[in-house]
Amino acid sequence: MNYFKKSSLFPFPFLLLCCSIIVFFNNGVVNASHKVFPELQSTSTVDVKNVHRTGYHFQPPKNWINDPNGPMYYNGVYHLFYQYNPHGSVWGNIVWAHSVSMDLINWIPLEPAIYPSKVFDNYGTWSGSATILPGNKPIILYTGVVDANKTQVQNYAIPANLSDPFLRKWIKPDNNPLIVADVNINKAQFRDPTTAWLGRDGYWRTLIGSVLGNKGLTIMYKSKSFMKWKKVQHPLHSVDDTGNWECPDFFPVLLDGTNGLDASYNGKNAKHILKVSLDVTRFEYYTVGTYDTKKDRYTPNNTSIDGWKGLRLDYGNYYASKSFYDPSKNRRIMWGWSNESDTVDDDVKKGWAGIQTIPRKLWLDPTGKQLVQWPIQELQTLREQKVQLSNCKLEKGDKIEVKGITPAQADVEVTFSFSSLDKAEPFDPSWADLYAQDVCAIKGSKVQGGLGPFGLLTLASKKLEEYTPVFFRVFKAQDKYKVLMCSDASRSTLENGKTMYKPSFAGYVDVDLTNKTLSLRSLIDHSVVESFGAGGKTCITSRVYPTLAIYDNAHLFVFNNGTEAIKIETLNAWSMGKPKMNWSFGHSSY
Ligand code: DQQ
């Protein structure tokens, strides 16, 4: 088959605010993503409820979405495919919906690219990745489900017409499936092929997520032709007692600098990242490590914990992420799915569920110990009205309202400083075994601290009946300071649906406090607060459903609830505009 043969950032004047000081009052079942509700899978959406829909995050006009699939840049166009239910707002009937963009901000919806129609995918067209083959030819690897027992195989699809700039139509050739599980593989947990990479030996490789017993693993396959694949005897990597691994992502990162690398890069000066989505915890874990190309083995650095206590791409509601290399800007970009935290009944009533987070550029931190993630620069084109605060002191219990922007749809960047670390609270040694999220649930934003809690009160109602605080608390542990970053949904809504999920998401921030500053950026968008601590070292996404703090009734405050005074060095906040987000475009099936 010859397909495989080689061949203006600130448009509005900003407003300088004086600091007004108001006293801060001291008031005081994860829905597993693919829980199946057969009776609701095809209840077509009659009415879409807008109140919590996002203004600038990726969403289709209605219905359920989950994992981003096969993101790629091809001939000047960005493509995003994603798992989509065309018939309802709970998981089911999954197809690969398809949208294209010139800037990763404005999106044009197209017809679904891949949907069940053949013996090798009749029961499901699940997640996968795109690879650009030599000769500039894109190919998709995806998981097909072939029977009611959920037997999974790996298939490929190619564009019907390479000269169509949007690659609207995709073909699934009859020599599918390309990869079938052998007897040693759990064939009902065998999915989500990665972008393939080419080794020096001329063989392509791809990874498939799986589980054996309770050991999570990435099974590796090799191929010279891309058509005939052979299993490598050992997995690229596996970890005992981690359960099923979904959506693996494996890519090189430069040791110095923020540029991205193509998956097939095999020069010096790079490390590798292995990211997996752990089905049991529904979080995304990664390690920084070394890929031995001769032995085809990956070994995490000894600074990277390999398992549930390891680094997470995001400590909040973020799953099934997938990255791609963007050659036009020489960067690696990560997409992730943020599921709803409300109930299934709510989703049916809303007529929609799931968003994609803002694409993030990612690179290796200069310490070499972790990734750094930052919203893509194109997001700044949506910034409108700007407000700036600087040099504002917040004593214990103070809070300042940030006025003059639309707090329900905003981008906020703030740098805090403090003059001493002396008042940092002691870190209780019994917390050492807890997750950061548990410590945040104990301490939160309302328990007065020493150095912190300080940060933002996002999506807040005027009298603070509802708010989602995003904040830092600094602790003094035996040998070092520990910076806790929280995004706490526990008071985000007066709606008290029993099964509504309102977690106190949190992560630690490995940051040097010598300069006595900490920075925070939050992207606030009606039902999502996506936050980046210390320039993107720790990221947390929360989904929240305020009842009072909606539209023009949402407020934004900066607060300090610690005994050490805090200074806002600078705070820049912008109202965010609304991009063209999958508005109809000669298209019938949505
Ligand atoms: N979602 C897909 C699977 C993947 C899971 C099915 C992760 O391929 O493992 O919709 O959210």
What average pLDDT is seen over the chain?
A: 92
Claim to verify: residue 449 and residue 347 sit in the same structural domain: no
Residues 367 and 423 in one domain: no
- pLDDT score, position 479: 85
Atom from ligand 1 closest to the CA of residue 94: 10
550-577 pLDDT tens trace? 999 999 999 999 999 999 999 999 999 9
Q: Give a yes or no: residue 329 inside a domain.
A: yes
If one residue of 126, 142, 194, 249 were mutated to test the ligand 1 pocket, choosing by the most ligand atoms within 8 A of its CB, it would be 126
Q: Is the pLDDT of residue 107 over 90?
A: yes
Instruction: Flag whether 72 is in a domain.
Output: yes
Question: pLDDT-derived band of residue 585, with 50, 70 and 90 as boundaries?
Answer: low
Structure confidence at residue 40 as a pLDDT band (50, 70, 90): confident
* Other residues' Cβ atoms within 10 Å of the Cβ of residue 348: 18
Q: Which of 32-36, 93-97, 113-117, 530-534 has the lowest mean pLDDT?
A: 32-36
Which of 125, 73, 82, 132 lies closest to 104, judged by CA?
Answer: 73
Q: Is 42 among the domain residues?
A: no
pLDDT at 369 over 90: yes
Which 3 state secondary structure label does DSSP give 377?
helix
Report the C-alpha gap between 355 and 522 in whole angstroms: 17
Give a three-class secondary structure readout of 472-512: EEEEECCCCEEEEEEEECCCCCCCCCCCCCCCEEEEEECCC
Where residue 33 falls among pLDDT bands split at 50, 70, 90? very low
pLDDT score recorded for residue 35: 76
Best probe residue, ligand 1, of 82, 140, 246 (max atoms within 8 Å of C-beta): 246
For the ranges 237-241, 478-482, 523-527, the lowest mean pLDDT is seen at 478-482
Whether pLDDT at 25 is above 90: no
Band (6; pLDDT cuts 50, 70, 90)? very low
Q: Ligand 1 atom closest to Cα of 143?
A: 8
Interval 433-439 mean pLDDT: 96
Q: What is the end-to-end Cα distance of the chain in Å, rounded?
A: 34
Could you tell me if 398 and 459 lie in one domain?
yes
Six token digits for residue 344: 């299934």
Boundary-marking domain end, from 356, 375, 394 = 375
393 pLDDT higher than 90: yes
Give the model's pLDDT for residue 383.
98
Q: 41, exposed or middle or buried, with CB in 10 Å at 0-12, 13-18, 19+?
A: middle
Is 326 tagged catalytic?
no
Last residue of a domain, one of 341, 375, 409: 375
Region 392-418 average pLDDT:
98
- The label of the residue with tokens 């740098």 reads 415
Pocket of ligand 1 (CB under 6 A): 33, 66-67, 83, 94, 126-127, 143, 191-192, 246-247, 319-320
Looking up residue 227, the CATH number of its domain turns out to be: 2.115.10.20
Q: How many residues does this entry show for the chain? A: 590
Q: Whose CA is nearest to atom 6 of ligand 1?
A: 126
Distance CA 462, CA 546 (A): 12
Give pLDDT, residue 324: 98
Residues 387 and 347 in one domain: no
42 Rama class: left (phi>0) / alpha (psi -120 to 50) / beta: alpha
Last residue of a domain, one of 312, 343, 375: 375
Q: What is the mean pLDDT of residues 414-426?
A: 97
Same-domain check for residues 340 and 460: no
Around 370, how many Cα atoms within 13 Å sit in the side-chain half-sphere? 19
Q: Are residues 346 and 423 in the same domain?
A: no
Residues 561 and 525 in one domain: yes
pLDDT at 87: 95
User: Could you give the 3-state DSSP secondary structure of residue 516?
Assistant: coil
Q: Can you tell me the distance from the alpha carbon of 556 to that of 359, in angstroms, rounded to the nearest whole number?
A: 24
Question: CB of 271 within 8 A of CB of 253?
Answer: yes
In this structure, the answer to whether residues 420 and 561 fall within a common structural domain is yes
CA distances from 258 to 270, 284, 475 (A): 12, 22, 30
pLDDT at 500: 85
pLDDT at 151 exceeding the cut of 50: yes
Residue 155 lies in a domain: yes
pLDDT at 312 over 80: yes
Q: DSSP secondary-structure letter at 241? A: T
Which residues on neighbouring strands pair with residue 525, listed in sequence order? 409
Ligand 1 atom closest to 91 (CA): 10
The confidence score (pLDDT) of residue 589 equals 40
Average pLDDT over residues 523-531: 98
Domain that holds residue 563: 378-576
pLDDT at 7: 42
Among 272-276, 277-281, 334-338, 580-584, name the one with the lowest average pLDDT.
580-584
For residue 2, how far is its CA from the centre of ligand 1 (angstroms)?
Answer: 31
Contact at 8 Å (CB) between 123 and 166? no
Whether residues 358 and 388 fall in one domain? no
Q: What is the 3-state secondary structure (H, E, C) of 354-372?
A: CEECCCEEEEECCCCCCEE
The pLDDT assigned to 4 comes to 52
In-domain check, residue 457: yes
Q: What's the pLDDT score for residue 307? A: 84
Residue 587 lies in a domain: no
pLDDT for 584: 67
Residue 290: strand, helix, or coil: strand
Measured in Å, residue 304 CA sits from the centre of ligand 1 at 26
543 CB-near residues (< 8 Å, 6+ apart): 317, 338, 339, 340, 341, 342, 489, 527, 528
Given the residues 47, 67, 256, 342, select the one marked as catalytic.
67
Looking at the fold, whether 355 and 268 belong to one and the same domain comes out as: yes
- Please report, for the domain that includes residue 457, its CATH number: 2.60.120.560
Number of domains in the chain: 2
362 and 391 assigned to the same domain: no
Nearest atom, ligand 1, residue 127 CA: 8
Going by pLDDT thresholds of 50, 70 and 90, the confidence category of residue 1 is very low
> What pLDDT is recorded for position 102?
97
Interval 262-288 mean pLDDT: 95
Q: How far, in Å, CA of 374 to CA of 63, rounded?
A: 28
Mean pLDDT, residues 91-100 taken together: 97
CB 126 within 8 A of CB 144: yes
Task: Give the tens place of pLDDT for each residue, 113-137.
Answer: 999 999 999 999 999 999 999 999 9
Nearest 5°: the CA angle 341, 342, 348 is 130
* Preceding peptide of 503 cis, ω within 30°: no
Tokens of 370: 């972790």
In-domain check, residue 34: no
Q: Whose CA is nearest to atom 7 of ligand 1?
A: 320
Q: Beta strands 215-223 and 230-231: pairing type?
A: antiparallel
For residue 24, what pLDDT is reported? 30
pLDDT band for position 30 (cuts 50, 70, 90): very low
Q: Residue 400: inside a domain, yes or no?
A: yes
Residues 490 and 352 in one domain: no
- pLDDT of residue 474 exceeding 70, the answer is yes
